[in-house]
Structure 1
Amino acid sequence: MKKPPLIWLNVILFASTLLAAVILVPWRGITHGFDGFEWLTFVILCFFSGLSITAGYHRLWSHKAYKAHAVIRFFYALGGALALQNSALHWSSDHRIHHKHVDNNVKDPYSAKMGFWYSHIGWMLREYQAHRYHDYNNARDLQKDRIVMWQHKHYLLLTILMNIGLPVFIGWLNGDILSMFILAGVLRLVIGHHTTFFINSLAHIWGKQTYTDKNTARDNGFLALFTHGEGYHNFHHIFENDYRNGIQWWDYDPTKWLIRLLSYLGLASDLRKVPQERIEAAKYQMQLLNTKQKVGHLPDADEMLAKLQAEFEQLKTHLAEYYQAKKAVLDAKRKQVCHIELKAQMEISKIRFKLQKHNWKMLTASY
């Protein structure tokens, strides 16, 4: 099968920036060195561009996981241009298709089943999506956002200003344009590109399928460290409209923290969270499937599977009862009616659920 034509602009961009980073950074570091302000600028711009992609392009515009003030959207638009990953409109349109047709080698723009190279960067090097490159029908809501459309219309100019003009200007202020451009311009861009691309590639290969096995997405806390919290990808693919990716307090998800901070400051609103009951139900369902696979080949598999299923059904029952009781208490509080009895019922349900969770944990751990 004949491959589509190369997109030479992308080939040259990715190859030249990577080559420049590999050669120029050590050369400049050895012959001249980088000062503290240059490293600080590098870190700040890494976070600015990275969070503009994760909090802006991804969770705000692609998934509408929350609403953001126009000032914040404007900064996301600038940071997105700095990240040099196409306009917010185009990026979000591609990403929505990815979620709708995940792992479909024909329809998913960066299907992981096409292999690591393809999903990481190969899909951008050839005209694989030429037939729909300017089709944004799945992002009509974004076409009503004046900031999104302003960025889309002036994207080329903005990328030049942000990727060349900004580091050059900061370097001029600091007295060393070349060092600043190499570090905060070139190296920052290459790192930003490939850490984002790892979510399309590595995060569909390496990690755990905690909540679903319906797609290749994996949860990987290590990847989250380099992707501003995007490494909890299995969770994201089943609960894509949640503003969080790392749902535990200890999960490294600075994108979540930024969105929450913005909400405290009145600059973000309508933060969407998947009900905890649905999250736990999905997790236990996967634990059931994984444990069934472990015991399926054992001599007394039928007996074990029956016991496992019975415990799982009890777990589901106690899960539903607890969250129903909790909801009843919250509803009563809102209506300002007496909820003492409801609260007592909730506590009983909570204890039963907790005990059953313990039983379930011990049972699944024994196989």
Structure 2
Amino acid sequence: MTKPRLLWVNVTFFTVSTLMALVAAPLWGYFHGFETWQWLTLIVLFSYCNLSITAGYHRLWSHKTYQAHPALRWLFALGGALAIQNSVIHWSSDHRVHHRHVDDNKVDPYSAGRGFWFSHIGWMLREYQPDRYDDYGNVRDLQKDPVVAFQHKHYLALTLVMNFGIPLLLGMVFGDVIGALLLVGFVRIFLTHHTTFFINSLAHIWGKRTYSDKHTARDNGFLALLTFGEGYHNFHHSFENDYRNGIRWFDYDPTKWLIKGASLLGLAQGLRKTPEELIVKARLTRQLEETKVRAQAKGLCFNELHRHYEETLAAAQHYYQLRKRWLQMKKAKLMQSVEALELRRQLEEMGEKFRQMQSHWQQLRLQLA
């Protein structure tokens, strides 16, 4: 079978940027050194690039998990050009296909089923799907956004201005143009690219399938540190319309914090969250599946496990129904009514029962593990 033709522009760009970041920059640093302002600028622009991809390209435009003020959309559009990951329209089109056909080696643009190299960078080095970008039919909604349309039309110019203009300007101001181009330019691009690419590659092969085994996406807290919160990838593929990836308070998800902070400032609205009862159900169901497999392998009976699963799930549904009613009363400022006080008592009792059942559930799982 003949391999698709090489995309020489991409091959050349990745080769040159890698050599400049891994060879030229260390050599310049060894012989000339880098100043504090260069390191600080690298960190700031690296963070800006990655957050423009995670909060902008990914959660705002690809999945529409919230709406953003035009000022925020412009900020993300320019950051995306700085990140050199193609236009919002092109990136989002690929990503929507990825989610719709995840792990389908024939359709998924960066299917993890084709191996680490392919899903990480190989899919961009050859023309695997040349006909897919004729009309961008799956992102017609994004083409109506004037910010997105402008960025797509002028993407190359924006990319050149952002990636050469900023380092050159800083270099001239502080007196080290070459050092700025190497560290703030090429090293930043290298780090931005490969930490983002990890979401397509490592996040589909390394970690735990917490909520579903119907796709290869994994949850990995360490990858979340590298990808600004995108490492909780099994959750994302299970609940892709949620603006969060890390749902627990201690989960490292700066993208989530940025979106929430923007909403408090009036720059974002309509933040979408998956109902908690659906998340609990998915997690319990996945735990049931995993434990049954281990119990069967050991020849153990898991009837009690299945019974307790049903009871815990029923308790969860009852608890969240009560909480939903309580929140409705709280919003209507009826907390002091007789009905509300009784509902609060029931909610507290049911919450305690649910916590006890969850604890028993975990103990039972450990016994059968």
CA deviation profile, 1:118-141 (whole Å, cap 9, x unmatched): 100111111101011233111111
The separation in 2 between residues aligned to 1:118 and 1:347, in whole angstroms, is: 51
Residue 275 of structure 1: aligned partner: 275
CA drift at 1:233:
0.3
Q: Give the distance between the partners of 2:252 and 2:186, measured in 1 at CA.
A: 26
TM-score normalised by L of structure 1 = 0.98
Q: Following the alignment from structure 2 to structure 1, what is the Cα–Cα distance between the partners of residues 289 and 175?
A: 61
Distance 1:188 1:335 in 2: 50
Q: Which whole-Å CA distance do the structure 1 matches of 2:330 and 2:225 have between them?
A: 39
Counterpart of 2:316 in 1: which secondary structure?
helix
Aligned partner of residue 132 in structure 1, secondary structure: coil
In the alignment, structure 1 residue 308 sits paired with structure 2 residue 305: yes
1:133 is the counterpart of 2:130: no
Q: C-alpha separation between the residues in 1 aligned to 2:80 and 2:25? A: 24
- Distance in 2 of aligned mates of 1:365 and 1:341: 37
Q: What residue is the counterpart of 1:326 in the other structure? A: 323
Report matched runs for 1:197-236 at 5 Å.
197-236=197-236
The alignment partner of 2:150 has SS state of: helix
1:11-59 deviations in whole A, cap 9, x for unaligned? 0011110011111111111100000000011111101111000000000
- 1:97 is paired with a residue of what secondary structure? helix
Matching residue's letter, 2:113: K
2:210, 2:67 → 1: CA distance?
28
Name 2:349's counterpart in structure 1.
Answer: 348
Matched residue of 2:318: which SS?
Answer: helix
C-alpha offsets along residues 74-106 of structure 1, whole Å, 9 cap, x if unaligned? 010110000000000110111011001000011
- State the one-letter code of the partner of 2:279: I
Superposition deviation, residue 297 in structure 1: 2.2
Taking the TM superposition and a 5 Å limit, the aligned residue runs for 1:17-56 are: 17-56=17-56
Q: Within 5 A, what are the aligned runs for 1:277-296? A: 277-296=277-296
After TM superposition, the structure 1 = structure 2 runs for residues 1-367 of structure 1, keeping only pairs within 5 Å, are 1-299=1-299, 301=300, 304-337=301-334, 338=337, 339-366=340-367, 367=369
**Aligned-partner Cα distance in 1 for 2:331–2:253:** 31
Q: Distance in 1 between matches of 2:134 and 2:200?
A: 21
Question: Any stretches of 5+ residues in structure 1 without a counterpart?
Answer: none
**d(CA) in 2 for partners of 1:194, 1:264:** 32
**What TM-score do the two structures reach when normalised by structure 2?**
0.97
Alpha-carbon distance between aligned partners in 2 of 1:216 and 1:135, rounded to the nearest angstrom: 29
How many residues are aligned here?
Answer: 364
- For residues 293-347 of structure 1, give each alpha carbon's deviation from its aligned partner in whole angstroms, at most 9, with x where no partner exists: 1011223x3xx22111001011111011101111121223334442111111111
Between the aligned partners of 2:297 and 2:77, the Cα distance in structure 1 is: 54
Taking the aligned partners of 2:287 and 2:16, their CA distance within structure 1 comes to 46
Structure 1: how far apart are the matches of 2:182 and 2:150? 29
Is the partner of 1:225 in helix, strand or coil?
A: helix
Deviations 1:228-267 (A, max 9, x none): 1111000000111111111111111111111111111111
Give the alignment's Cα RMSD to 1 decimal.
0.9
Question: What do the CA deviations read for 1:145-178 (whole angstroms, capped 9, x no partner)?
Answer: 0000000000000010011111111111111110
1: CA distance, partners of 2:51 / 2:284: 32
User: For 1:315 and 1:57, how far apart are their aligned partners in 2?
Assistant: 38
Secondary structure in structure 2 of the residue aligned to 1:107: coil
Q: Which amino acid aligns with 2:342?
A: E
SS of structure 2 residue aligned to 1:208: coil
Distance in 2 between residues matched to 1:252 and 1:297, nearest whole Å: 35
